[in-house]
Amino acid sequence: MLLRKRNHVTQKMADMDTSIKRIIINVDSGSISVSSMESAVVLASRLQANLCGLFIEDTELLQLANLPFTREITLHTAHSRELSSRSIERNLLARAAEVRESLQALAEMSNVGFSFRTVRGPRLESVFKEAEEYQLILMMPTKRLTNLRHHAALADRRHPVVIFYDGSVQSKRAIAVIKSMNNDPSIKHVLALTTSQSAEEEVLQELPEQHFNVRCISIEDFSIEDIIKLARIQTPGLMILPIENSLLKQGPQLRRLLDALSCMLILVR
Amino acid sequence: MATVDKQQYALPKSELYHACDTSTLGFKTTDELGDMVESIGQPRALEALKFGIGIQHEGYNLYVAGSTGLGKHTMVKRLLDTKVIDSPVPADWCYVNNFEHYHKPIAMELPAGYANMLSHDMDQLIDDLLAAIPSVFEGDEYRTRVQEINDELAEKEEGVFAQISEVAATKNIVLMRTPTGYTIGPKKKDKILSPEEFDKLPEREQAKIRAETSEIEDEIKKAIRQIPVWAKESRGKIKELNREISQITVDQFIADLQNKYHEYPQVLAFLDAVNEDIVNNVEEFRKHGSAELPVEENPSLAGLITQYQVNVLVDNSNVKGAPVIYEGNPSYNNLMGRIEHQAQLGTLLTNFTLIKPGALHRANGGYLVMDARKILLSPFAWEGLKRALLAHEIRMESLEQMISIASTISLEPEPIPIDVKVVLTGDRMLYYLLKEYDPEFNQLFKVAADFAEDFDRSPESTQLYAKWIASLQREHQLKPIDASGVGRIIEACARKAEDSEKLSLHMGNLLDLLRESDYWASENGHALVGCEDVQQAINTRIQRLDQIRERMHEQILRDIYLLETTGSKVAQINALSVIQMGDYAFGRPSRVTATARLGAGKVIDIEREVKLGGALHSKGVLIISSYLAGRYAKDQPLSLSASLVFEQSYGQIEGDSASAAELCALLSALADIPLAQSLAITGSVNQHGQIQAIGGVNEKVEGFFDICKARGLTGDQGVIIPAANATHLMLRSDVAEAVEQQRFAIYAIDTIDDAMEILTGIEAGELDTQGEYPAATVNGRVQKRLQELTKIRAQYSASAQAESRDSEDG
């Protein structure tokens, strides 16, 4: 009975198009680094997908810079200096160029199809707008910390990969992302938030024991609060969530989640 | 003139060769003889060695004096091997790193066998730590604790900015990130105020916003400035954590060694230093522990491991008793040890593992045996040895730095105390030179073991000698020797001693003879070595070496070198000399001539005039001059001028063994009496005309005999020798047989008068009460001639004075 059910599941999965062809990474966050860009390139290379770097020139920031008394406090020296929209524009341009150069070099070294876009607008809303054609959106946490865990290959027992699995296409794409890590020699620890028994079975079937150590937690609903609490307790090395959940499309909710995380967030379309 | 029968001076055959009576030896072959237990013929040296080895006071090192081949090394070895068996095994010595002063390695003394053990233990310790330290730092506990520290830092950072954000939010101020920092600004309903909206605000509102943003800005600055402080604290905590983790790990492994070596404070101190150093440099272990390259290809790892190694300088684990070290090449470095360097990227580097021991280190607690000449010939070695013995320690100093060849920084290893007895072997001359000119030698080498060259030949000593031969034969796995062979060997050894009543103690020569006799016995298909094999060995050895002798004799026989062996001549005589060519000597007859004329009493030694005569030879000629004056011109001036020369001699001449011949030639010239050319003479004469013993008598006799034999013995040929040398005769059998057949003769004389009687056949003559010699005697004719010369000289002198007076008056 279980075997027929499993075969049915496998067939059903095989009928869905879970391929990932386009990946976009948001690179304007203060926590972006060469490591995180490397992770994105590696992921794109293994999935044989194209990678696009997206730099958002936050209009709120530009607007703030227009105010007459606005000053910038530099991160390392605590030096305060006048801020103008022109200076912040230049700053953003320079930063965009720097990030683009790094990401391009990494992509070329791995023969990954690469493109780069600079867009001006509200940050999170612009990301979603620009990423409509992309199956994966890679986002960096808000924190600019030294212990940021954003290298996918570092997922281990203490910092598992957290996924939400409900059998949907997005879930399966999440599985595909995890499976792309199969080339790494170490066992990957996965914490799967599943919504049903069958979802749990699918996860276990898709992620074999010899490469993955899978732990399943059953949840009823997708809740940002629960996810944030989980992130604080489980300290994930990578989090993969479906984007179709309307909660994540809401800027504030996503911002709260990004504020709480210390790892890369992959939104799966 | 009264004639003299020279036969009164002739020696019988029995006195020409002291044969060994094999019938009294008491054995047929050496197989019947036991081994020699004690040494032979060296009681003085043996007692001195036993004394020198036994006495333990400072300065009682030994000098074993004697020529090469006397068995000095053999006896020293035998005595030392016996002595050291019951001696305690000395300590091991090693050098370890000085972690405080790298250029001053620390010396460590350990019981025998422990140095190697410690070395292995340290190697194992480092291997274990290279594996354990990285794994403990990769372990969950460490990473969790580091993560806790990092999380704490992160929480502080997050917390302060979150707090600032919260406070800002209450004041409707938003905190935003820029590419290089933070900025703040007012918001309204979650939207940033535009400049226009801001301008529309009341002045008070604007001022409030400015003030509040300024406050928030200050808070942000404060927070940013605090972050490095927190980061530093975090780093401090991580460092402390690293120290704690590494200390626990290192302690675990070192504890075993501390237990094992708990009785040795030096080792414990070393282990403590190692512990501290590893903990202070744990990053190196973390880095190298996971290194994939092996040590040989990883200089950095090799350098890390090296500083914890143990350089075993002296390992006495396999030594039974005290060490006995024979240093065959006692150079400074071989003696004192050396500090090696390695070239690395164009520079010379060294460390304590490159300290190498010398012979003094290895002999510490025991004995060091060396050749005196070799150490004296090695630059700085002798001074280094004395310095070590006087200071009772070995202080290793780079020779290159001592003589300023190299100015690279080198090591100053901690000196090692020594307790060693040095045994030098060398010749006697060297011993007395050192004693005379090196005051420190007297201080350090108080015991001389003087080896004899030969010992008395007697029936008892002959038996002992035979036993010695048997021992050597067995020791060197040679064929057994029958009694006739042993007898011939003994006779050869007496010949070697140049005395029929002595036997040579040169083991080297004896061993050579045994080996060569053994060879010829094999060649001849003999199971035993017999007399003929020994003789063949002797003959073939001579044959190998006597090419020069042959050439010289050929020159005589071909009359290229003039020498008469028949007839008689005035003022010409056959003298005899010995030519030493390595370890082969042969006699060579030479013509000596003399002239005598009116003069002022000078006897000219032509060899000395052209600087071909040595001091001893010149002394002999001066003695002749004194003899003449003392015997014939006591009351009158000696009015002759004489000259003496070795004809056709173009090399250096030394020694006074031809002075008798020279005097005879001179007397012949004065007396105008011919001397028999069928005779040769050897002997040294003193001022009273007594004939003194000379060396090489056998070779000299045989040298003249060979010439006469080659020309055909006439029956009136022979050699005149000092009577004191008769006991030294061990002539060849053909010479002895010729004497027995009266075809050749050996005459032994005591005075120059005896020599003149034999050479002239005329009585020498005795002084009468008037102080005159009978006219028809040799001395009478000499005296008469000298008186004539004196008169002639007086006449010349008187007429010269008269001429002088005439010229003054004139």
> Is B297 a domain residue?
no
Measured between alpha carbons, how far is residue B6 from residues B720, B729, B731 in Å?
A: 10, 20, 21
Confidence of residue B409 (pLDDT cuts 50, 70, 90): low
Alpha helical stretches, state H, B639-767: 659-671, 697-711, 733-740, 752-760
Please tell me whether residues B389 and B462 are part of one structural domain. no
Q: What is d(CA A125, CA B489) in angstroms, rounded to the nearest whole number?
A: 121
CB B202 within 8 A of CB B164: no
pLDDT for B520-531, tens place per residue?
A: 999 999 999 999
| Residue B610 φ then ψ, to 5° | -100, 15
Burial of B372 (0-12, 13-18, 19+ CB in 10 A): buried
| Amino acid of residue A14 | A
Please tell me whether residues B32 and B61 are part of one structural domain. no
- B620 pLDDT more than 80: yes
The pLDDT value recorded for residue A187 is 56
Q: Could you tell me where the beta strands, DSSP code E, fall in A80-121?
A: 80-82, 114-121
Instruction: Report the residue of B180, B187, B205 to disrupt the A interface, i.e. the one with the largest count of A CBs within 10 Å.
Output: B180
Burial of B38 (0-12, 13-18, 19+ CB in 10 A): exposed
From the list B778, B559, B570, B588, the residue with the least C-alpha distance to B680 is B588
Q: Does B186 touch chain A (CB under 8 A)?
A: yes
Q: Mean pLDDT for chain B?
A: 91
> Is B109 a domain residue?
no
pLDDT for B675-712, tens place per residue?
A: 999 999 999 999 999 999 999 999 999 999 999 999 99
- A11 pLDDT more than 80: no
The pLDDT value recorded for residue B659 is 92
Provide, rounded to the nearest whole percent, the portion of chain B with pLDDT above 90: 65
> Is B487 a domain residue?
yes
pLDDT for B201-223, tens place per residue?
A: 899 988 988 898 888 989 888 88
Q: Which H helix or E strand runs over B640?
A: strand B640-646
Contacts 24+ apart (CB under 8 A), B489-492: B489/B513, B489/B514, B489/B517, B489/B534, B490/B20, B490/B462, B490/B465, B490/B466, B491/B17, B491/B18, B491/B19, B491/B20, B491/B730, B492/B534, B492/B538
The pLDDT value recorded for residue A245 is 61
Confidence of residue A180 (pLDDT cuts 50, 70, 90): confident
Across the interface, whether the CB atoms of A70 and B183 are under 8 A apart is answered yes
Question: Hey, CA dihedral for B754, B756, B760, B765, is it positive or negative?
Answer: negative
Across the interface, whether the CB atoms of A58 and B198 are under 8 A apart is answered no
Q: Does A201 touch chain B (CB under 8 A)?
A: no
> Is B478 a domain residue?
yes
CATH number at residue B393: 3.40.50.300
Name the more confident of B444 and B624.
Answer: B444
Please tell me whether residues B618 and B715 are part of one structural domain. yes
A vs B: CB pairs below 8 A: 97
Name the more confident of B370 and B289.
Answer: B370
Please tell me whether residues B234 and B142 are part of one structural domain. yes
Q: What is d(CA B190, CA A63) in angstroms, rounded to the nearest whole number?
A: 13
Confidence of residue A3 (pLDDT cuts 50, 70, 90): very low
Question: Poorest-confidence range of A177-181, B116-120, B748-752?
Answer: A177-181
In this prediction, residues B389-418 reach a mean pLDDT of 84
Q: Which of B760, B778, B798 is the last residue of a domain?
A: B760
Q: Domain span at residue B590?
A: 561-760
CB A258 within 8 A of CB A231: no
Please tell me whether residues B521 and B377 are part of one structural domain. no
Spell out which residues of chain A touch residue B205, defining contact as CB-CB under 8 Å: none
All residues at 6 or more sequence positions from B280 whose CB lies less than 8 Å from its CB, including other chains? none
Active site residue B700: yes
Please tell me whether residues B747 and B607 are part of one structural domain. yes
> Is B79 a domain residue?
yes
Q: Does B220 touch chain A (CB under 8 A)?
A: yes
From the list A30, A23, A91, the residue with the least C-alpha distance to A54 is A23
Q: Does B225 touch chain A (CB under 8 A)?
A: yes
> Is B293 a domain residue?
no
Please tell me whether residues B48 and B26 are part of one structural domain. no
Shortest CA distance from A55: residue in chain B:
B179
CB A171 within 8 A of CB A193: no
Please tell me whether residues B580 and B715 are part of one structural domain. yes
Closest approach of B217 to chain A, Cα-based (Å): 7
CATH number at residue B684: 3.30.230.10
The pLDDT value recorded for residue A148 is 47
- B194 pLDDT more than 60: yes
Confidence of residue A190 (pLDDT cuts 50, 70, 90): confident
pLDDT for B757-778, tens place per residue?
A: 999 999 999 988 888 899 899 9
Across the interface, whether the CB atoms of A75 and B157 are under 8 A apart is answered no
Spell out which residues of chain B touch residue A123, defining contact as CB-CB under 8 Å: none
Please tell me whether residues B657 and B581 are part of one structural domain. yes
Question: Poorest-confidence range of A3-12, B255-264, B431-440?
Answer: A3-12
Catalytic residue among B484, B504, B649, B657: B657
Q: Does B147 touch chain A (CB under 8 A)?
A: yes
> Is B471 a domain residue?
yes
Which A-chain residues 155-184 have CB contacts (< 8 A) with chain B? 158
| Structural domains in chain A, sorted by start | 19-140 (3.40.50.620), 145-269 (3.40.50.620)
Q: What is d(CA B734, CA B725) in angstroms, rounded to the nearest whole number?
A: 20
Q: Does A143 touch chain B (CB under 8 A)?
A: yes
Q: What is d(CA B799, CA A24) in angstroms, rounded to the nearest whole number?
A: 146
For A250, other C-beta atoms within 10 Å of its C-beta total 15
- A87 pLDDT more than 60: yes
Closest approach of B213 to chain A, Cα-based (Å): 8
pLDDT for B458-484, tens place per residue?
A: 999 999 999 999 999 999 999 999 999
Across the interface, whether the CB atoms of A91 and B225 are under 8 A apart is answered no
pLDDT for A32-77, tens place per residue?
A: 788 888 889 988 998 899 999 999 998 888 888 888 888 888 887 8
pTM attached to this predicted model: 0.72
From the list B745, B761, B621, the residue with the least C-alpha distance to B685 is B621
Please tell me whether residues B179 and B77 are part of one structural domain. no
Q: Which of B512, B545, B578 is the last residue of a domain?
A: B545
State in Å, rounded, how far the first CA of chain A is from the last one: 33
Number of domains within chain B: 4
Furthest C-alpha separation in chain B: 172
Instruction: Report the residue of B150, B177, B187, B205 to disrupt the A interface, i.e. the one with the largest count of A CBs within 10 Å.
Output: B177
Across the interface, whether the CB atoms of B179 and A83 are under 8 A apart is answered no
User: Bridge partners of A70?
Assistant: none
For B795, other C-beta atoms within 10 Å of its C-beta total 10
For B429, other C-beta atoms within 10 Å of its C-beta total 10
> Is B604 a domain residue?
yes
Spell out which residues of chain B touch residue A65, defining contact as CB-CB under 8 Å: 183
Please tell me whether residues B567 and B711 are part of one structural domain. yes
Please tell me whether residues B402 and B459 are part of one structural domain. no
Which A-chain residues 90-129 have CB contacts (< 8 A) with chain B? 91-92, 94-95
User: Bridge partners of A263?
Assistant: A149
